[in-house]
Amino acid sequence: MADPIPAPVFRNRSLLDAAQGRVPARPPVWIMRQAGRYLADYRRVRALFPNFLDFCRSPEHVAEVTIQPVDQIGVDAAILFSDILVLLPPMGLQVEFQEKRGPVIANPLRDDAVIAALPEGDLNSELAYVFEGIRLTKRALGDRVPLIGFAGGPFTVASYMVEGGSSKELSKLKALLFSRPEVFAVLMRKLASVTSAYLREQARQGADVITIMDSWAGYLGPEEYRLHVLPHTRAVIQAVKAEFPNLPVVHYANGAPHLLPHFATLGADVLGLDWRADMAAALKAYPKQVFQGNLDPCALYGSPAQIAEKTRALKSLVGARPHVFNLGHGILPDIDPAHARAFVDAVHEAN
């Protein structure tokens, strides 16, 4: 099916150009978690909501914080403020965000019969607030920069559903994978179908780029990833591409340079690498692939001059190839916004 909405003409289309393999007018940069706690204006809005999910469910505030880093840091794209766990309530799991512990799921998946009974397919009616946030953000952004929509990769979302929250080892999810792979596969298939419907609707409502955040895929070895996760993530990308063949899809995983040979077969336009990945080796091994990243988020603890130096080293490594500059993981909450700007400015400066 062809893309039903004519592609918007952006004043700054450097991200779209790079993601589609064209050399952009200027190298594009955005920052994972750029709408986040390091910005005072974000913290002001965040403080209005005792409950984090209520914040995600308020489209006006979502649009406001989504646009803040475009105005304040000068990034080349907005990414919708939301959370990968918004899919959990429509699937029947209660999630709460606690200040110190992060997300806590009241009814984690601990029973094969519960997994078999999970809903699948289009659960978008319960996610209307996300789509309203996209429409409001697009209206406010106008033609300035593209908007990135996103969802978690099925493995990463499954990890929260099974572990019941953040986890050091993902040992419950991996126990399921190793001991009852057929039940694990049911969970992954359902998540892939819900995620596909969710991302397609994000694109229909105006998302110009889609990012799949499979943050914890790196907990798996190459064989387990290839056999048990890759087919489901690929199915999500194929579902998006079937309806929106020209919409760029970015795939990101943290701590997963060992999975790069498999990520390269996902069908994503851009592969986001964390700072562990040897970017020079990746560029050499995959001469046609567009990459995203990979400055160490902790490099922003350095001085602006130190940040500029590291950014220039990355730029010189990438050379003339289309590339999406970013940190290798989300910006940390205690980073000085001036240091985030130093990174963005160094990407943008003429060589």
Strand runs (DSSP E) across 86-146, as ranges? 95-98, 102-105
- The phi-psi region of residue 102 (left if phi > 0; otherwise alpha if psi is between -120 and 50; otherwise beta) is left
In the complex, the smallest distance separating the C-beta of residue 327 from its own copies, rounded to whole angstroms, is 12
Nearest approach, Cβ of 70 to its own copies (angstroms)? 26
Assess whether 46 carries a catalytic annotation: yes
- Candidate residues 169, 245, 285, 338; the one interacting with its own copies per rule CB under 8 A: 169
Binding track over 180-199 against its own copies, x by CB under 8 A: --------------------
Query: Residue holding tokens 């795939």?
Result: 251
* 44-53 CB burial, b ≥16 within 10 A, e <16: ebbeeeeebb
258 binds its own copies (CB under 8 A): yes
For 136-181, strand residue ranges (E) read: 147-152
- The verdict on 54 binding its own copies (CB under 8 A) reads no
Q: Which residues neighbour 103 within 8 Å (Cβ) at sequence distance 6 or greater?
A: 85, 95, 96, 97, 160, 165, 166
Would you tell me the crossing angle of helices 128-141 and 181-204 to the nearest 10 degrees? Answer: 40
Question: Which of 164, 248, 257, 272 touches its own copies (CB under 8 A)?
Answer: 257
37 belongs to the catalytic site: yes
Candidates 277, 340, 342, 347: give the one binding its own copies (CB under 8 A). Answer: 277
Cβ(321)–Cβ(24) below 8 Å: no
Identify the residue among 255, 264, 315, 348 touching its own copies (CB under 8 A).
255
Among 33, 61, 138, 174, binds its own copies (CB under 8 A): 174
172/348 with CB nearer its own copies: 172
Determine which residue in the list 83, 321, 332, 341 makes contact with its own copies, applying CB under 8 A. 332
Of the candidate residues 8, 296, 312, 348, the single one contacting its own copies (CB under 8 A): 296
> Considering the rule CB under 8 A, would residue 286 count as an interface residue with its own copies?
no
Burial class (CB in 10 A: 0-12, 13-18, 19+), 165: middle
Active site residue 43: no
Which CB, 48 or 281, lies closer to its own copies? 281
E strand residue ranges, the chain: 78-79, 95-98, 102-105, 147-152, 209-213, 249-252, 270-272, 290-292
Task: Mark residues 208-247: x for contact with its own copies by CB under 8 A, - for none.
Answer: ----------x-xxx-x-----------------------
* Phi and psi angles of residue 11, each rounded to the nearest 5 degrees, phi first: -65, -35
- Residue 278 CB, shortest distance to its own copies, in Å, is 5
d(CA 16, CA 9): 11
Is 345 noted as a catalytic residue in this protein? no
Minimum CB separation of residue 86 from its own copies in Å reads 23
Judged by CB under 8 A, the stretch of 31-39, 41-49, 138-146, 272-280 that binds its own copies is: 272-280
- Alpha-carbon span 12 to 18, nearest angstrom: 12
Q: Which is nearer to its own copies, 207 or 299 (CB)?
A: 299
Closest CA to 76 of 17, 142, 28, 134: 28
Among the listed residues 13, 17, 76, 160, the single catalytic one is: 160
Terminal C-alpha separation, the chain: 41
Q: How far is the CB of 279 from its own copies (least distance, A)?
A: 9
Q: Which residues contact its own copies by CB under 8 A?
A: 169-171, 174-175, 177-179, 218, 220-222, 224, 255, 257-258, 275-278, 294, 296-299, 301-303, 306, 328, 332, 334
Residues with a catalytic annotation lie at 33, 37, 46, 83, 160
